[in-house]
Amino acid sequence: MRRRDLHRGPGAAAVFVMAMALAGCPDERGSVEVVEPAAETAAKSARAPISGMAVEVASVRSEAAIDADAVRAVLRDAEPAFLACLDAEGSTGVIALKLGVEEDGATLEVASQQATTYGTDDARACLERIVAALRFPTTQLRERFELLVSLEVRPRHEL
């Protein structure tokens, strides 16, 4: 890849860096080994999704004129990530969150509310981190707004 190709965008630069990491420079070829720390491996296995559980959107409220069904869809799409946060013992409960949402739909802040009855501090923090990374539909006025969201953790009922 020529040097001027790096200026074509962040994707081109990432491809160049990856190619260099895989091939190595002509004079400095060597093997690159990525080793995951044992603590991270243990944390990942401890956070494996719990089968038989569901995280459902119980309610979405806002004083802003937003599409609540679109917000529900964003949260439903995040369920696989939510499942990785659940406590291993299969406990149930509600996660009540207050979200600040930026004009572009990015989440500004996430705070647990007193109505929260689910899980350990770690499980709740994990769920909050996932919600904080989500992007929500915006208002027509493109202004900041708050969302009150309740998620229910319960056993999945198969039909």
Q: How far apart are CA 86 and CA 64, in angstroms?
A: 31
- For residues 42 and 59, the model is more confident at 59
pLDDT confidence bin for 102, thresholds 50/70/90: very high
Q: Residues of the chain with pLDDT > 70: what percent?
A: 67
Give pLDDT, residue 52. Answer: 87
Above 80 in pLDDT, residue 4? Answer: no
Give pLDDT, residue 82. Answer: 95
Residue 30 in contact with residue 20, Cβ under 8 Å?
no
Q: Is the full-model pTM beyond 0.75?
A: no
The structural domains of the chain, with segments of one domain joined by +, span 53-154
Give pLDDT, residue 106. Answer: 92
Q: How far apart are CA 28 and CA 20, in angstroms?
A: 11
Give pLDDT, residue 42. Answer: 41
